[in-house]
Chains A and B, each alone.
Chain A
């Protein structure tokens, strides 16, 4: 006879809440820095000097073709061999930033490539500098075009952060493991944590769908190819 005891898990709500907070914190930092890295790489691949183009392409391919857990272990266990010693939280954030940066670079690149030529010509004819053309004319509507794909990728990174518990970062999955090591309710603790991840994914999507237009591309008129 199977008996499920969720009450034994729910009394540990404080630990679960701390886990949720850590997961969200990691995701927030990784999103900000990862998107910035993605923009830099997308620019490098499209307009940078040849060496930078090659570097960005190599980085993107290396990250997209290896598992996140291996990237994390390499950073946490491998880098101390080079004298770089990071705390679990630092290693987790760094791995998430590097991971999101590569995927975001590819997504943003397709958005930037879809910029109508006329927009560039108009901007240049107004004597804007290349920097101004990229940051004011090209980038905001490009982000707008690919925002749904970026949001999905941010959510994938948030869900992927469950792996960071393996190097003792106290995020949600780590707290769930800690709870069931105390009360032996492994299945229930995992179900509860999984439910929380699902809720976080739904809420994060809502939040980003609302924040994106508000902060990044809401003030630009929708261009051809918009959603």
Chain B
């Protein structure tokens, strides 16, 4: 019988936490790019874009992330493509994040006074110039706090990738439990590691929000 020390458990969980961080970054960067593209399509008033994007957002916010992960996983299998859990989880989390981020950022753009749009229009700025010089910088300032807040949600969301076999923090917890028979200790450590990742982000988001409120 092998005895596992706390350090054995924690060290292996820390190694797995790297993949939680990597998957979170993929979700945030991929979701951010796609979310920004969807927002621009909406702001540029492409025909049908508003309806399509809002349906997209409704779809992803109205269904469980777990089901979205299953759909990505089984969907690839149905197409006859054999993909790793990386691709399925990365894709599902990217789409999920894009739906939330595009909606968050739309709120930020909407919070900019109409006068700014009208002033930009009266200077005959093109859509690109308006975004780059007038709307973009102001919206960005408002967007930082809620975006950091969403990062917490994204990190927590990656835990569900364990269900389709992606070995990150939660899955590693399950595997280590099977080896050590100490679920209480292992899951307590898993929870603490998530807390260590998420709490600084939460606190940062809150302090950004406070600063912004004071500035206004």
Q: Mark B59-95, 1 if CB is under 8 A from A, else 0.
A: 1001111111011001101110000000000000000
Q: Given A82-B184, A159-B64, A173-B66: A67 and B74 within 8 A (CB)?
A: no
Total contacting residues, chain B, CB less than 8 A: 40
Q: Given A67-B156, A160-B64, A202-B62: A81 and B162 within 8 A (CB)?
A: no
Give A53-91 interface residues, CB cut-off 8 Å to B. Answer: 61-62, 64-71, 73-74, 77-82
Q: Is the interface of B mostly helix, strand, loop or mixed?
A: helix
Check if B152 sits within 8 Å of A187, measured CB to CB.
no
Residue on A nearest B79 in the bound complex, by CB = A2
Check if A65 sits within 8 Å of B78, measured CB to CB.
no
Q: Mark B177-210, 1 if CB is under 8 A from A, else 0.
A: 1000011111110110011001100100000000
Residue on A nearest B58 in the bound complex, by CB = A198
Check if B159 sits within 8 Å of A69, measured CB to CB.
yes
Q: Is the interface of A mostly helix, strand, loop or mixed?
A: helix
**Shortest distance from the beta carbon of A160 to any chain B beta carbon, whole Å:** 7
Please pick, from A61, A77, A155, A187, the residue contacting B74 in the complex, using a CB distance under 8 A.
Answer: A187
Q: Compute how far the CA of A145 lies from the CA of B67 in the bound complex, rounded to whole angstroms.
A: 32
Chain B residues whose C-beta falls within 8 Å of the C-beta of A198 in the assembled complex: 59, 62-63
Residue on B nearest A82 in the bound complex, by CB = B184
Q: Mark B145-164, 1 if CB is under 8 A from A, else 0.
A: 00000001000110110110
Please pick, from B66, B71, B191, the residue contacting A191 in the complex, using a CB distance under 8 A.
Answer: B71
Is A190 in contact with chain B by the CB < 8 A criterion?
Answer: yes
Residue on A nearest B183 in the bound complex, by CB = A77
Q: Given A197-B64, A198-B62: A65 and B195 within 8 A (CB)?
A: yes
Q: Given A2-B78, A78-B184: A69 and B160 within 8 A (CB)?
A: yes
Check if A66 sits within 8 Å of B191, measured CB to CB.
yes
Please pick, from B68, B173, B177, the residue contacting A70 in the complex, using a CB distance under 8 A.
Answer: B173
Q: Mark A14-52, 1 if CB is under 8 A from B, else 0.
A: 000000000000000000000000000000000000000
Give A191-223 interface residues, CB cut-off 8 Å to B. Answer: 191, 193-194, 197-198, 201-202
Is B30 in contact with chain A by the CB < 8 A criterion?
Answer: no
Check if B194 sits within 8 Å of A65, measured CB to CB.
yes
Residue on B nearest A77 in the bound complex, by CB = B183
Is A115 in contact with chain B by the CB < 8 A criterion?
Answer: no
Chain A residues whose C-beta falls within 8 Å of the C-beta of B191 in the assembled complex: 62, 66, 70-71, 74
Chain A residues whose C-beta falls within 8 Å of the C-beta of B183 in the assembled complex: 73, 77-78, 80-81
**Shortest distance from the beta carbon of B190 to any chain A beta carbon, whole Å:** 5
**Shortest distance from the beta carbon of B104 to any chain A beta carbon, whole Å:** 14
Is A137 in contact with chain B by the CB < 8 A criterion?
Answer: no
Is B98 in contact with chain A by the CB < 8 A criterion?
Answer: no
Please pick, from A68, A81, A186, A197, the residue contacting B182 in the complex, using a CB distance under 8 A.
Answer: A81
Check if A187 sits within 8 Å of B160, measured CB to CB.
no
Is A153 in contact with chain B by the CB < 8 A criterion?
Answer: no
Q: Compute how far the CA of A83 lies from the CA of B155 in the bound complex, rounded to whole angstroms.
A: 31
**Shortest distance from the beta carbon of B81 to any chain A beta carbon, whole Å:** 11
Is A178 in contact with chain B by the CB < 8 A criterion?
Answer: no
Chain B residues whose C-beta falls within 8 Å of the C-beta of A162 in the assembled complex: 64, 66-67
**Shortest distance from the beta carbon of B94 to any chain A beta carbon, whole Å:** 18
Please pick, from B62, B170, B173, B195, the residue contacting A201 in the complex, using a CB distance under 8 A.
Answer: B62
Q: Compute how far the CA of A17 lies from the CA of B77 in the bound complex, rounded to whole angstroms.
A: 27
Closest 10 CB pairs of A and B: A81-B184, A67-B159, A162-B64, A65-B198, A77-B183, A67-B156, A74-B187, A78-B184, A186-B74, A201-B62
User: What would be 17 A-B contacts, judged by CB atoms less than 8 Å apart?
Assistant: A2-B79, A65-B195, A65-B198, A66-B156, A66-B195, A67-B156, A67-B157, A67-B159, A67-B160, A67-B194, A74-B184, A79-B184, A159-B65, A163-B160, A190-B70, A197-B62, A198-B62
Chain A residues with a Cβ under 8 A of chain B:
2, 61-62, 64-71, 73-74, 77-82, 155, 159-160, 162-163, 166, 173, 186-187, 190-191, 193-194, 197-198, 201-202
